Amino acid sequence: MRAMVKKAKGLSGRVKVPGDKSISHRALLLGAIAEGRTRIRNFLPAADCLATLVCVRALGIEVERLSETELIVQGQGLHGLMEPKHILDCTGSGTTMRLLAGILAGQPFYSVLTGNEQLRRRPMDRIVEPLRRMGATVLGRDDGRLPPLTILGGNLHGIEYRLPVASAQVKSAILLAGLYADGPTVIHEPGPARDHTERMLAVMAKGQILNFKLQTSNFRVQGSKLSSLDIVVPGDISSAAYFIAAACLVPGSEVVIEGVGVNPTRTGFLDALREMGADIVVENQQEVSGEPAAEVVVRARGGHGVPPLRGIEVSGDLVPRMIDEFPILAVVASQARGTTVVGDAAELRIKETDRIANTAAELRKLGACIEERPDGFVVEGPTRLVGTQVNSHGDHRLAMSLAIAGLVAEGETTIEGAECIADSFPGFEKILRVLSSK
């Protein structure tokens, strides 16, 4: 599918973005192993989250869909899952595969996890190695490095594990397996990564300190029953990032995004934009189901021409706090004065696609001055972008980033493979049209 974007004259309006993808996955998975009825509102009905829904049902869990965005999960407790009759298809969702592998490692039955061609190329050894250490049998191609993964779980023991890199998915897989282990499981992480699993576990364990402890960089979990919740999923900050960037780049813009999650492990993009000189204000913050949410107000600075943003350096602990936002950061950097340098982000090479190589290649087609590096990229700006035909490479985040680039490019930008946007953000084009028409 092709999507066509023209240069915008200004963006204006109040919008809501769909529910957070990371939290939607976790609400389904933890709801399935909790005891009793978990209600999920503002669930994200995107392809990746629907893959988790299909897998949960295949494990014997009843999930009632009251609407596209409201679900009732009839949790069966930690030991209530059933052996699946068929292979569990995670489609293109790495979150589904990695987190579900942690739960399945604790089950006394046989299961197989697979996905589409793109997912079967993504490395899984970071979860396979600790799950094997805990006592699970996990097999896969290339000695477990690549899917499909075959898991025969049960009889786990707790371990103390130091993550080689900050990764929410790896951390979550080990924490979930730790719920089934004999003895405590302790995880040390080298830097900040998303903490949605820890927050939800802490609430579902009802503050049982001996069973779950959340510290600055060390996490301890020990098996205990989980209680059901009434969960309201906040808006996805990673989805909001595209409209935040657009409002920064298109002169005369003012956009308010309502009810968006502002978990500090996810707001690195806001911090980076503020350092670049963007006018961003977070208002009316409150806690929703254990997660902070707020309104984000963004105003363009400057008059006609290039907004007065400046280049910055992004590395270290900031990287995992904005790991999904680097393609859109590259778009913003192409319109900022000076040099933007991104380092310590080699993880981008093993996302849905090689996000460093593909982001650089596609933005160069539009006229951006961007140079690939092994662990990031360098962008010189500002540059005049000119609309042309670009390709998503099947990566939803790159597709949406290219759409925002099209708002500041001269002429018309055509994005090939735009259907992948539905992986995380159904309705993206509609919201973009609404903001552009005011």
Name the residues annotated as catalytic: 324
Alpha-carbon distance of 419 to 334, in angstroms, equals 25
* The two structure tokens encoding residue 430: 């509609």
Q: Which residue has the tokens 């899984």?
A: 124
CB 129 within 8 A of CB 154: no
Point out which residues pair with 88 in neighbouring strands: 113
How many C-beta neighbours within 10 Å does residue 287 have? 10
DSSP string over 161-187: EE-SS--HHHHHHHHHHHTTSBS-EEE
Q: Which long-range contacts (CB under 8 A, 24 or more apart) does 127-131 make?
A: 127/98, 127/101, 127/102, 127/169, 127/170, 127/173, 127/174, 128/101, 130/159, 130/161, 130/170, 130/173, 130/174, 130/177, 131/101, 131/102, 131/105, 131/173, 131/174, 131/177
Query: Can you state the percent helix, strand and coil of the chain, rounding each to 5?
Result: 35, 30, 35
The rounded distance, in Å, linking the Cα atoms of 150 and 110 is 7
Is the separation of the CB atoms in 252 and 435 below 8 Å? no
Q: How far is CA 292 from CA 199, 244, 295, in A?
A: 11, 18, 11
**∠ at Cα 410 (427, 256), nearest 5°?**
40
Closest among 350, 424, 356, 393 to 122, alpha carbons compared: 350
What CA–CA distance (Å, rounded) separates 348 from 7? 28
DSSP structural state of residue 388:
-
DSSP string, 76-130: E-TT-----SS-EE-TT-HHHHHHHHHHHTTSSSEEEEE--TTGGGS--HHHHHH
